[in-house]
Each structure stands twice: as structure tokens, then as C-alpha cells.
Structure 1
Amino acid sequence: MRISLSERLFRIGNTVFLTGLMIATLYPILYVAFASISEPALMMAHKGILWKPLGFSLETYAAVFSNPMILLGYRNTLTIVIVGVSLNLLLTSFAAYALSRKSLRYRRQIMLFIVFTMFFGGGLIPFYLLVRSLGITDTLWALILPTAVSAFNLIIMRTSFEAVPDALEESAKMDGANDFVILFRIFLPLCKPVLAVVALYYGVSHWNSWFNAMIFIQDRSLYPLQLILREILIIGDANSMAEGASQDEIVILGETLKYATIMVATIPILLVYPFLQKYFVKGALIGAIKG
């Protein structure tokens, strides 16, 4: 099959554009990775583009993991992610199943109210007053309960539930199954790709969240990892990362410490994605085919 000149030019242009986009997206990650394992003194003196590590040193990673706040932040963040995602999936599944049932009265009106929250919010002050009235400020629950259900993820899951044939539900009810049995033994197993996608969305959201923690958490022992990372990057709190080091050593380690901390906070969520990637496209499509 002959390819016309216009098609050939389009393919070449498309390849060049996508290659440039890939480099622009990938290079910042590679820069941080190379800088985090470079010799601190060489990295401090380096200017411009970094194509490879400048020497090799894990001194900054040792300094990062020697800081008790990093390990504490990991513990808090993992607690938030595990408990939060479990609660997210449970509540979102319940709501999606109920709203996908045609027998539910006023389900369209309820969905309108839910969609309304995607475009309009009460603002930060009412949000803070609500969390404070619940008595969960300065606890990890303040980072879990207010974001227990995402309207966007609820719509994705509800749409996937609506695609399940009604005959399966009817046959299950004839065998005496109630709604809980139908949900957990029929709908959720059939919608595993969507569950994986929604779990990934919720997990990344919890892992990257720092704003709510900055507002609601005063006790430093409850700081999540991203809030600790923010202090290091924005406030420049590198002294605590190199305890026992001289001021000159702290200055030299300062930049590479920041890069190493970024990698420590980013690698875990990057390692999770390949295990869910096979479900990602399929789950996103299943949840978006029907309106």
C-alpha cells in the first residue's frame, strides 16, 4: 500500500512532535534522578543541563532516611492512603450501586446535586468550620473523611455498574441474593478494571495531598510526607536533614538533599502504576462509554 506524501509528512511531524513532548516530560524526572545520586560538591558547582550523574554518591539518601520526620511522614502517608482508599472504594461503590439502579426514586435529581458539587463549592472557610465542628481537626481523619467520595470517581463507577446486564441482577435475586451480595459478588468482580482505575485516582490524590494537612494538622508528628517535602523545598528546611553536619556540609548537601527527598516521595507511587496500568485504559473506557 503506497503512502501519499501528505501522510508521510504527517507521520514524520507527528513523530517529531511526540518525541519532543516525551523528552520535555521525561527530562525533569531524569534531572532530579541524576542530581539525587550525584556528588554534592560537583552538583553544587554545576550549571545548566544535566545529562548524566556527576559522579556517584548515596550520601544524600542516607541523610534523608536518617531524618526521623521522613520515616514519620511515610508512616502517616501510608496510613492515609491505605485507610483512605479502602473507605473511598467502599463508600463510592455503595453510592454508585444505588444510583445505578433504575428502581431508585429521584436518582436523576440526586445525580444533579452530586454533579453540582463538581462546579460549585462552599469555599475554604465553610469547609474548615465543618471539619472543626466534626471534632477531627489535628487528626488523620481530617485528611480522610472530607474526601471520602469524589463526584468524578462516583460517576465513573456508576456508569460501569449501569453497563452490567440487568439479567445478572434478576437471576441473583431469584436465588435469594440481597443487594450486598449482588454488589460484592457480581458487580465488583465484573468491574475490576474500573475499581483499579478509581483506586489509582484516589491513591494518587491521597499521596500528593498536602493542602488539607497544612490547614488541619498542627501536630508535627501527624504530618504526611508531602507536607514535610513542602517544608524542605519551599521553606528550605534542610538543616534537619543533615543532623550532625557542619554548616558548610549542609550548604553543599542542600541541593542534592532536595532532589533525593523528591525521589523518595515519588518512587513509591511510580512503582504502583505498572501493576495497575493494564487495567487503566480498559477501566477508563468502561466508565466513560455511557453518559
Structure 2
Amino acid sequence: MNTKAVRGDWDSRVFDAVNIFLLVVITILIVVPLWNVIVSSFSSGRALAEGGFIFWPTEFSFENYRAVFRDSTIWQSFFISVSKTVIGVVTHVFFCAMVGYALSKSKLRGRKFYVAMGVITMFFSGGMIPTYLLIKSLGLLNSFWVYIIPALLSFYDVIVLMNFFRNVPDSLEESAKIDGAGDWRIFLSIFIPLSMPAMATIVLFNGVGQWNDFMTTKLYVTDQWLYPLQMKLYEIIVQSQTQSMQNVGGSAVIETATKGVQLATIVITTLPIVVMYPILQRYFISGMMLGAVKE
């Protein structure tokens, strides 16, 4: 019997066992708190007041969600959140892809200068007050486009797409030019479809950022009809806390009522992202460029 083969097989089993153990522990650490939040959001105020970990609601209740959806403008805020996320993601990805496609060409004049300018913006910014004055001078205050235009470009995403475009074989572009395709046709018909795995990653991260964006509304929007879901839920939490303080003087009851609403808002704001992630996940592990060119 080959001792090296036996030792290698034993090392492989130990390695697999350690990996499985670590993955199980990490999964438990992630799933258990998430499950506790979901279950607690369906628990009554009395069950939450008892404290401790809740594995299953002893007193099942929708009161926390009723408190959230009691506001008649919640659906308007939901529409604003969905609209700014969809429009913001589409415009952001397309704009970054155009810039990345141009910068991926070594023949572009001033390419190094443009890249240097973009890299500088990754480390330095104008600051909050100059940015506010810029947004005001552009007339974007209390405008839906304040969610879209300032978020059009992220040079980090440009770098990701630029490096991905460099890996596209030159023979594809050359054959398209021989067939009479122009730059726009090549960009839309070849580079965009082949870069779907990279774009899906940017879509996911930018979509999460757009969906969870809170500071843009806090700084630049005062019109409540333009409030996204996150800002509206924040107001609901504040109102719930205020009403509890007016009705009851006990701090424990105030904390319990507010906590239930907070847990419900966490579930509501997280659910769309949880639903979208499995849809985009397949692009992370599949490459559309495989087999595209036969040498």
C-alpha cells in the first residue's frame, strides 16, 4: 500500500471536515440572528417585553406590521424606492460601462490623464457642504433626479468593467468591424452581453446601495412625497416612539413597542434584496465568454 496516497487521502478528509465544520458554524451565526429578527417581528409586545431569544413566536401578532402599513403614504414611498433603485441601477451601470469601454482602449488620447483624474476622485471629495452647494446650484434639491444624477458614476465600477473589457478577445471586435459594425454596435452587441457577470455584480451592489440610501434624502429632500421607503420607515419608528411616550410613562414599554416596529421595518426593507440575490447569483459563477472564440 502506498503510504503517500494514504496520507494524502487522510489529509484531504481532515481538510474537508474542518471546512464543513467552519461553514456550519458560520451558517448558524448568520441564519440564527436573521431567524430571530423575522420571528420577533411577528411576536406581540408582551413576548418582546420578556426579552431573551425567540425561536418561535409564543403570541403570534401582525401588530408591528400594521403599525408600519398604517401610514397611507407608505406605498408612495415604496414606489419611490423601487423607481430610484431601478432607474438608478440601469443608468449607473450603462454610464459606467460606456466610460469603462472607452478607457479600455489603449489608443484613446489622454487615457492616462482621464484614469488619473478618476482615481483621484476615489480618495478625495469636495465634502458635505460643497456637495450640498453643488446640488443646490444644479437645481436638484427636492427633485427625484437627486437620487439618480449624482450616483451616475463610480470610478471603482468603471475600473472593474474596464479590466473586464480588456479581456474580450480583439478578434471579436475585429471581425465585427469587418462586417461593418460601428463602435456603438460593437459596444451594445458584443461587450455588453459578454460582460454580464461583471455587470450583475455591479447591479447587485449598486442596487443594495440605492435601496438602502438614507443620507441623500436626509440632506437634499424635504418633500415627503419624494421620501423613499427607508426615510418613511424612519419616520414611522419615531412616531411610534413618540406615541408610546405620550401614552405610557414606562421606558420598558416604550422600548418594546419601538423594537417591534424596528424589527418589522428590517424585514420589509431586507426582503426585496433577499429576493433579488438568487436571481443575480447565477451570473457570478457563469462566464459567457467561455467558448466565444475558437483559436
Please, what TM-score do these two structures have when normalized by structure 2?
0.84
Structure (1 or 2) with the larger CA radius of gyration: 2
Worse-matched range after superposition: 167-176 or 142-151: 167-176
Report the CA distance shift for 1:170/1:10 in structure 2 as closer, same or farther (over 3 A).
closer
From 257, 268, 280, give the equivalent of 2:272: 268
Matches within 5 A, 1:32-71: 32-44=37-49, 46-71=50-75
Greater relative contact order (Cα 8 A, min sep 6): structure 1 or 2?
Answer: 1
1:256 equivalent in structure 2: 260
CA distance in 2, matches of 1:231, 1:208: 15
User: 1:1-291 maps to which residues of 2 (within 5 A)?
Assistant: 1-2=5-6, 12-44=17-49, 46-233=50-237, 236-238=238-240, 247=247, 253-282=257-286
Listed as ranges, the gaps of 5+ residues in structure 1 are: 287-291
3-state DSSP of counterpart to 2:106: coil
What residue identity is the alignment partner of 1:81?
Answer: T
Give, in whole Å, the separation in 1 of the partners of 2:242 and 2:181.
Answer: 58
Distance 2:115 2:286 in 1: 24
CA distance in 2, matches of 1:165, 1:193: 16
Offset of 1:264 from its aligned partner? 0.9
Change in CA separation of 1:27 and 1:232 when aligned onto 2, cut-off 3 Å: farther
- Identity among equivalent positions (%) equals 35
Letter in 1 for 2:28: I
Instruction: Report if the CA contact (8 A) 1:66-1:241 is conserved.
Output: no
**For the Cα contact (< 8 Å) 1:99–1:158, is it kept in 2?**
yes
Q: 1:122 and 1:279, CA in 2 relative to 1: closer, same or farther beyond 3 A?
A: same
Q: For the Cα contact (< 8 Å) 2:84–2:210, is it kept in 1?
A: yes
CA RMSD, aligned part only? 2.7
Q: How many Å separate the matches in 1 of 2:176 and 2:90?
A: 26
SS at match of 1:238: helix
Gaps of 5+ in 2: 291-295
**Conserved? CA contact 1:31–1:51, under 8 Å:** yes
TM-score normalized by the length of structure 1:
0.85
Alpha-carbon separation, structure 2, partners of 1:171 and 1:225: 48
